[in-house]
């Protein structure tokens, strides 16, 4: 009974993480599309959500591992996975509240590493793997994207310099929709599969599935739908930061940024150096702002985003470790229930707090210098 309850909690929490992954990372694929008016806000998130589902079914090469090469796989238990998921969800909700685009994958890694550290100590954490798979790609991703998007913006402006503004705007908006679709499919394939992997791992650990069993169809469907729901609800605060907070984006910049992000992500993945979607998308937007004459990049906002990146791993790790500590205080599955209650309480408190200063599809495209200006500072001060 205890094992079944823990399994239910792990599956439910994994789907909750998948949901937060959807609404947190929507901005990566739709923020420029919305900012330039290529698609209306609701249409953009619905389009992205539908393609998330398509992506989730495109490839099913799920590895039943979590944080592979980051933690000692033989020491991973359901309690660690559960605490790690709780840490990742808490960090995703926190960064969403502050409108900061941070990596959901790194949050999950941080949560699991923290829980592992609390469980078996430093021996269970593969520090070299963290450096090679988290820190190094974290530095490389935005810089490569910034360079590609910057060059692409300049070349695109030169190539269309004789085209009248109306035709160029329409053409670039069409290109943006295509690039946004490609990113949404890739997101569905990559990130929904991570949750499928977590749930499959839990089912195998519980003895519900054989180690070599295929991923059950219900797991694929629930993961795809949870992510799509999150995407459809839209992380408007982050979309606003990505679309307006970093720099002003016109359709040429939007297309250059989104196509550059797609190419960098697909190329790096193909060559065996997968990069964070969030870091690449953010780097592309900043790159296109730098490459546009007279365009101002809001470096104070960019600085806060980078600060969030730097503390994602330790912050999610601390919560993951704390949650594992709470689990350990109780016998049986009581600890997991307490953690679940704490998580729901925290999520509810953050949601209620966010209602004081609502950012949604109706005001996501308000000019950055408005009453919604600097949502982070306003939220903190209020």
Partner 1 sequence: MTTPSTVTTATPLIDWHVLCQVLLASVSIGVALVTLFSLGVASLSVSRSTDGTTLTRSAGQFGVLVASILVTVVIAWGFYIITQKG
Terminal CA-CA length for the chain: 46
Minimum distance from residue 217 beta carbon to partner 1 (Å): 17
Nearest CB to partner 1, comparing residues 12 and 178: 178
Counting every residue written for the chain, the total comes to 382
Minimum distance from residue 207 beta carbon to partner 1 (Å): 25
Minimum distance from residue 101 beta carbon to partner 1 (Å): 20
Nearest CB to partner 1, comparing residues 129 and 325: 129
Q: At what angle do helices 251-270 and 2-35 cross, to 10 degrees?
A: 140
Minimum distance from residue 135 beta carbon to partner 1 (Å): 9
How many CB atoms lie under 10 A from the CB of residue 135?
Answer: 13
Nearest CB to partner 1, comparing residues 168 and 298: 168
Nearest CB to partner 1, comparing residues 273 and 326: 273
- Distance, in Å, from the CA atom of 120 to the CA atom of 307, rounded to the nearest integer, reads 29
Which are the contacts of 138, defined by CB distance < 8 A and separation ≥ 6?
103, 106, 276, 279, 309
Phi, psi of 356 (to 5 degrees): -70, -25
Residues in contact with partner 1 by the rule CB under 8 A: 55, 58-62, 69, 72-73, 123-124, 126-129, 131-132, 136, 140, 144, 147-149, 151-152, 155-156, 159-160, 162-164, 167-168, 171-172, 175, 178, 182, 185-186, 189-190, 193, 255-256, 259-260, 262-264, 266-274
Q: How many helices (H) and strands (E) does the chain have?
A: 14, 0
Q: Which of 319, 104, 58, 92 is nearest to 198 (CA)?
A: 104
**Tokens for 59?**
């490839």
Nearest CB to partner 1, comparing residues 58 and 311: 58
Minimum distance from residue 160 beta carbon to partner 1 (Å): 5
Minimum distance from residue 84 beta carbon to partner 1 (Å): 18
Phi, psi of 170 (to 5 degrees): -65, -45
Exposure b/e, 10-44, CB count within 10 A at least 16 = b = bbebbbbbbbbbbbbbbbbbbbbbbbbbbbebeeb
Minimum distance from residue 317 beta carbon to partner 1 (Å): 18
Nearest CB to partner 1, comparing residues 7 and 220: 220
Nearest CB to partner 1, comparing residues 238 and 263: 263
């Amino acid at each position: 009974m205890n094992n079944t309850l823990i399994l239910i909690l792990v599956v439910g929490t994994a789907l909750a993480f998948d949901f937060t992954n959807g609404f947190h990372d929507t901005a990566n694929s739709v923020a420029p599309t919305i900012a330039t008016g290529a698609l209306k806000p609701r249409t953009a998130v619905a389009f992205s959500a539908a393609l998330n589902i398509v992506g989730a079914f495109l490839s099913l090469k799920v590895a039943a591992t979590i944080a592979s090469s980051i933690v000692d796989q033989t020491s991973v238990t359901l309690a660690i996975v559960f605490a790690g998921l709780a840490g990742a969800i808490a960090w995703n909700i926190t960064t969403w509240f502050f409108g900061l685009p941070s990596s959901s994958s790194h949050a999950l890694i941080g949560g699991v590493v923290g829980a592992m550290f609390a469980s078996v100590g430093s021996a269970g954490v593969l520090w070299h793997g963290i450096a090679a798979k988290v820190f190094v790609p974290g530095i490389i991703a935005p810089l490569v994207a910034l360079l590609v998007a910057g060059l692409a913006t300049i070349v695109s402006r030169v190539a269309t310099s004789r085209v009248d503004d109306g035709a160029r705007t329409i053409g670039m908006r069409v290109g943006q929709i295509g690039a946004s679709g490609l990113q949404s499919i890739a997101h569905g394939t990559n990130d929904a599969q991570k949750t499928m992997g977590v749930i499959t791992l839990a089912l195998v650990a519980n003895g519900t599935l054989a180690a070599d069993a295929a991923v059950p169809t219900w797991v694929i469907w629930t993961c795809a739908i949870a992510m799509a729901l999150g995407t459809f609800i839209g992380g408007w605060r982050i979309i606003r930061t990505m679309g307006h907070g970093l720099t002003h984006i016109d359709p040429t910049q939007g297309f250059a940024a989104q196509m550059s992000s797609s190419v960098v992500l697909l190329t790096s993945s193909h060559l065996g150096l997968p990069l964070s979607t969030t870091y690449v998308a953010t780097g592309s937007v900043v790159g296109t702002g730098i490459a546009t004459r007279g365009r101002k990049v809001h470096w104070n906002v960019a600085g806060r985003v980078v600060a969030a990146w730097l503390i994602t791993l330790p912050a999610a790790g601390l919560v993951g470790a704390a949650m594992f500590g709470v689990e350990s205080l109780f016998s049986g599955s009581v600890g997991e229930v307490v953690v679940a209650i704490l998580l729901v309480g925290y999520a509810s408190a953050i949601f209620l707090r966010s209602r004081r200063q609502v950012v949604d599809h109706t005001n996501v495209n308000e000019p950055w210098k408005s009453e919604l200006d600097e949502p982070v500072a306003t939220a903190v001060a209020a």
